[in-house]
Amino acid sequence: MSDVKKVVLAYSGGLDTSVILKWLQDVYQCEVVTFTADIGQGEELEPAREKAKKFGVKEIYIDDLREEFVRDFVFPMFRANTVYEGEYLLGTSIARPLIAKRLIEIASETNADAISHGATGKGNDQVRFELGAYALNPNIQIIAPWREWDLLSREKLLGYAEKNGIPVEMKHKQGGSPYSMDANLLHISYEGRHLENPAAEAEEDMWRWTVSPEKAPDAAEYLDIEYEHGDPVALNGKRLPPHALLAELNRLGGKHGIGRLDLVENRYVGMKSRGCYETPGGTILLRAHRAIESITLDREVAHLKDDLMPRYASMIYNGYWWSPERLTLQTLIDQTQHTVNGWVRLKLYKGNVIVTGRDSKTDSLFDPTIATFEDDKGAYDQKDAGGFIKLNALRMRIAANLRNKNK
């Protein structure tokens, strides 16, 4: 272990990474550089700096990555209407490639020998961090403490923290371990404690961003989202930078009880895992983006995107953001978005996001003169449909004739 003189640690200041910081110093006898990413988790980050200083860290990075996160990671993902296993909007997954990228950059800037993270040996994040790191620096050394130490429960971590004077916040009111939580501008997730029983309903006081639909306002709220080339650029007529727009949608969605999810998902390492998620702004954006695409995308292009989306979602979930296949697929997705321009009107009401209107002045493929149920003045000849149907039925008619012949 003596070959590691300096390591860059992805450091949140929470229980796991605070223990890891001290553990790296004790076990590897190395200098630790801490990197804390502000990706909109909504928490004060200066305590992380103070904790790092307390344990003698000299190089402390606290980077505001909110705009880059939403602009270069969240929005490209939403251009594909990405959903994993039909429900999960990939809030944790999409943050990992950005953190991996910055870890590698800081390792280069500080001449560090290795990077380290707090992902467990049972989870997906170890794969996401490390695949990203190796894609960006194939020779980087990675230290994954959860795969090396014997602190294999949250109770043992709490004991180690207490023994070494590491302050820990958010202990559960009954005295048990806190939830394993991850937050950023796209979502907040909860795992552990009684959520490990998939039959148990989540406690109402667990949720942080959203009110329950039962307690949401009795009056619906309307909002307009404007799109340019597949990305939202304005909310209710006001242009906003990406991170500010998503933050405001989180506020509005949370107010109306939108975006809660209780999911048992299939982890890449093979096990099933139960997690709860709050993704209010992302839930709104998914509905809005599909609505604007419904009038601006060609049918076959839209269906091709839907065919490819589950594969794209798995790439992100499994940690292949920096892979050549994801980059290639992103080029195709982005090509489809050149005509995705216009606005969408939505109604928020007690946990629901309801599309009430959409239009595009420049790229709408909706032709009212053809779609009308009134007199179309010859724009569409209904007699043509007969031949269309017969040609499409030809193979089935041939097969039916054969069956009848062989009876």
**Token pair 């039959």: residue:** 199
- Give catalytic status of residue 3 as yes or no: no
Residues in the chain: 407
Instruction: Copy the structure tokens of residue 180.
Output: 């394993």
* Cα–Cα distance for residue pair 42/243, rounded to 1 Å: 12
- Give catalytic status of residue 150 as yes or no: no
Cβ atoms within 10 Å, residue 323: 15
Question: Which one, of 139, 141, 131, 142, lies nearest residue 324 by Cα?
Answer: 131
Strand, helix or coil for residue 112? coil
- Give catalytic status of residue 364 as yes or no: no
- Give catalytic status of residue 180 as yes or no: yes
Helix (H) or strand (E) holding 343: strand 342-349
Catalytic residue among 18, 113, 116, 125: 125
Helix (H) or strand (E) holding 387: helix 384-405
Catalytic residue among 66, 79, 96, 193: 96
Strand, helix or coil for residue 278? strand
* Cα–Cα distance for residue pair 216/213, rounded to 1 Å: 5
Catalytic residue among 18, 93, 116, 180: 180
* Cα–Cα distance for residue pair 30/24, rounded to 1 Å: 7
- Bridge partners for 33 per DSSP: 8
CA atoms within 13 A on the CB side of 321: 27
* Cα–Cα distance for residue pair 73/352, rounded to 1 Å: 26
- Bridge partners for 35 per DSSP: 10, 61
* Cα–Cα distance for residue pair 109/103, rounded to 1 Å: 10
- Beta strands in 14-129, from DSSP E residues, in sequence order: 31-38, 60-64, 114-116
Q: Report CA-CA distances (Å) from 151 to 167, 182, 221.
A: 17, 20, 48
* Cα–Cα distance for residue pair 324/172, rounded to 1 Å: 43
Residues marked active site are found at 16, 96, 125, 180
